[in-house]
Amino acid sequence: MASASPRHVVFLLVFCAVAVCRAQPPRQRLPVESYSYVSFQRGDPSVSSLLFRGDAGINNGALQVTPDSRNLNNFLSNKSGSVLLPHPFALWRRLDGAGERPAASGNGTTGGDQGQRVTVVSFNSTFSMNVFYDNESRPGEGLTFVVAPSTDGPPPGSHGGFLGLTNATMEASPAMNRFVAVEFDTFRQPGGYDPDDNHVGLDIGTVVSNKTAPLAGLNITIATNGTAPANYTVWIEYNGAARRIAVYMGIRGKPKPASPVLASPLDLSKHVPEQAYLGFTASTGVSFELNCILDWSLTIETFPADKKSKGWVVLVAVVVPVAAIAVAAAAFFLARMLRARRSMDRRRQERLEHTLTNLPGMPKEFAYEKLRKATKNFDDRLRLGRGGYGMVYKGVLPADDGRPEATTEVAVKMFTRDDAKCVDDFVKEVDIINRLRHRNIVPLIGWCYKKGQLLLVYEYMPNGSLDQHLFRRGVHEQRPVLSWESRYAIVADVAAGLHYVHHEYGPMVLHRDIKASNVLLDASFRARLGDFGLARVLDLDRNSFTDLGVAGTRGYIAPEYSVGHKATRQTDVFAFGVLVLEVVTGRYALLGDPACPLLSDWVWRMHGRGALLGAVDQSLGTDGFDAGDATRLLLLGLACSNPNPGDRPTMLEVLQILSRSAPPPEVPQFKPSFVWPPEGGAHYDLIDIDAITSGSLAGASSAASARATQDTASGGFPPPTAPNSADDYFPALSSGR
């Protein structure tokens, strides 16, 4: 064989050197981080650190990726939310061919142009989910496990088929949307890209799935109802070396199936940023469902710290003065806080605008500066009152055409609590009061939201609230005594307003905080019912509302409500009865007398002695009232405040008595004993049980939970023991506003 030329020898040596360099021994596997959530409890710091965006929250030990309130359907429909782990993960890394790189059997490294390689991590995500809907409705829309590019949360308009991932604008340019999601879709979209309303899909930058897998043939139904409830466990396994994803799904509590429901090639380095977030998104549309995550565990490979960067950090720490570092750090954190605050305000503004825009007959939106000028920068001298929500100020709005004689006097209600609960109270009050149109309901004029400040604008009532005229304390001491004719008319006006919200307006509204300070008087001393901050609107098929705590004001709360936490028309009638007694007697509902703490007890004692008219307000004098009408009102007040709800009159009967078309009610001489459970037993619907056993906030805090997320529903609700005396009602009550 001919000897090799020098050129061939050199070529052979270079080839061997490159081969040796390429044949480096494999290094250790990448380190692995693990996260585990057996359940999601509010007080758990690891749960509190999760990033909740849009309409997501925590309830009943589960992540509620979309709302779970059941008492108002419009708070369930057209919602979107997301829950993400609080820090990003390095999912892939590009390395120079000449430099050091982690090489392992558990992660993938691919070659590229100009000697670049990309390493992609592997991860396993396992979670259990509960997707629940009403028997009489259809589910919608779906839930996803997402690899997200940022913590911005669901974009505006991402409800319905957009699954909290995109909106109509973003769908026009999928390549710009740097996310990957595994969708669990329960609603077939009219565009034809969904195979059915029960499938798993792989979404890359768009909700039009790259690959789908129908589940009907596998005996899996994502959305279930009370007829056949089921929770499912999902295993998502991503192999960074093979660039492949596999999704397994089965009944919760059973082993992982042998075969995946969906498997597909997937190179995350081509579709998501190097640093990305992991978590869940969900949405509802006109059809809605509860999208709950019951537990979650995640294991994921992580890249070791870059050694070359450590020397740079040390060098900077030595060279840069300590003072400069402190200033830079303070500026950084201040900027982060301001940016986070602006982002939170923007999302809250978008949520409020979306909610209020969809209200029927949307109230007018006022500019903040206009209301600030109208109230003279919220001058304390113009303050009309205050409560647990905040304060109310008098304002004067200029006419749109600038005419000075056409100004409008308004009452501006300022919500001073800056939290999500305050926003919920604001939206609920607007939603309720904006529906009501009655001469005895204080009309809502408009609203305002700017930089975290929530404001409601009501028609101004020149004569203030009823309590200022009845009790005449402090600055109101010089007010004249309220005449008997005005008192009788005020009672009739409040009764008409309460009858409207109970029986005339559909669906029914429970006020839950009827008291003298919430009755406002216009220029003609006509009474109007106000402050619907604790009110609740009930579905047409319901007649009660149950929550964890007790809403209202002590002295006006019916005994069965304090025991069973179930508000009904009868509990509003009880508060109305106490109000009637206050109007006639001029005394507070709570007398401050340990021997007789309740006004109704004192009036009942006068009735038992045959001296009922002795309870009439002495400031009226002996000739300042009509004895027959006074007897009528006192007996009506006692009948309405009867301890037992079945013995109270309805508001229709109340109107007949006040119009004198029916005789005064027959009232026993001595106050009846409170009987628990009420006559016929204490009945609680499944939804009531869920409401009480859920993690909803107490008192006026939030609507009841829609459904339990446990595998089986609760078996029953054992009511608390009834109190033995009026004193025992009070310790568990939350004070009113």
pLDDT score, position 420:
57
The residue among 112, 284, 259 whose CA lies nearest residue 186 is: 284
What is residue 406's DSSP assignment? G
- 216-237 mean pLDDT: 91
Contact call for residues 254 and 72 (beta carbons, < 8 A): no
Confidence of residue 684 (pLDDT cuts 50, 70, 90): very low
Choice among 107-111, 113-117, 505-509, 700-704 with the minimum mean pLDDT: 700-704
Residue 400 pLDDT > 80, yes or no?
no
pLDDT score, position 441:
93
Residue 473 pLDDT > 80, yes or no?
no
Instruction: Please name the residues in contact with 721: beta carbons below 8 A apart, sequence gap of 6 or more.
Output: 676
pLDDT score, position 70:
59
Distance CA 76, CA 315 (A): 55
Residue 705 pLDDT > 90, yes or no?
no
Torsion of CA 272, 277, 280, 283, to 10 degrees: -60
Distance CA 555, CA 575 (A): 8
Residue 337 pLDDT > 80, yes or no?
yes
Q: How far is CA 265 from CA 77, 129, 142, 260, 276, in A?
A: 35, 25, 23, 13, 19
- 567-592 mean pLDDT: 95
599-608 vs 627-640: helix axis angle to the nearest 10?
120
Overall CATH class of domain 364-459: alpha beta
Delimit the CATH 1.10.510.10 region(s) of the chain: 484-677
**Catalytic sites, residue numbers:** 513
**H-only helix segments in 320-439:** 322-357, 368-374, 420-433
pLDDT score, position 502:
93
Contact call for residues 224 and 131 (beta carbons, < 8 A): yes
**Tens digit of pLDDT for each residue in 137-151?**
789 899 999 999 999
Delimit the CATH 3.30.200.20 region(s) of the chain: 364-459
pLDDT score, position 543:
87
Residue 729 pLDDT > 90, yes or no?
no
pLDDT score, position 192:
80
**Tens digit of pLDDT for each residue in 439-453?**
999 988 888 877 667
651-658 vs 484-499: helix axis angle to the nearest 10?
150
Confidence of residue 39 (pLDDT cuts 50, 70, 90): very high
- 280-303 mean pLDDT: 94
Residue, of 554 and 689, whose pLDDT is higher: 554
Q: How far is CA 218 from CA 188, 199, 211, 246, 253, in A?
A: 18, 10, 17, 16, 17
Residue 356 pLDDT > 80, yes or no?
no
Residue, of 690 and 573, whose pLDDT is higher: 573
Sign for the CA dihedral angle at 696, 700, 702, 707 comes to positive
Strand partners, 455: 414, 448
Confidence of residue 15 (pLDDT cuts 50, 70, 90): very low
Q: Give the DSSP per-residue string, 424-467.
A: HHHHHHHHHHTT---TTBPPEEEEEEETTEEEEEEE--TT-BHH
Decide which of 2.30.38.10, 2.60.120.200, 1.10.3720.10, 3.40.1160.10 is the CATH code for 30-310.
2.60.120.200
Overall CATH class of domain 484-677: mainly alpha
The helix or strand, by DSSP H or E, that contains position 364, with its residue range, turns out to be strand 364-365
Confidence of residue 109 (pLDDT cuts 50, 70, 90): low
Phi, psi of 43 (to 5 degrees): -80, -5
Residue, of 92 and 695, whose pLDDT is higher: 92
pLDDT score, position 348:
67
For the chain, the average pLDDT equals: 81
pLDDT score, position 595:
87
Confidence of residue 240 (pLDDT cuts 50, 70, 90): very high
In SS3 terms, 563-582 reads as HHCEECHHHHHHHHHHHHHH
Would strands 142-148 and 364-365 be described as parallel, antiparallel, or unpaired? unpaired
Show binding-site residues: 413
Does the pTM surpass 0.85? The reply is no
Delimit the CATH 2.60.120.200 region(s) of the chain: 30-310
- 267-290 mean pLDDT: 94
Residue 261 pLDDT > 90, yes or no?
yes
Show binding-site residues for ATP: 413
Distance CA 141, CA 188 (A): 8
Residue, of 511 and 406, whose pLDDT is higher: 511
pLDDT score, position 402:
67
pLDDT score, position 136:
67
pLDDT score, position 2:
45
- 84-98 mean pLDDT: 82
Q: Rounded to 5 degrees, what angle do the CA atoms 630, 635, 636 make?
A: 95
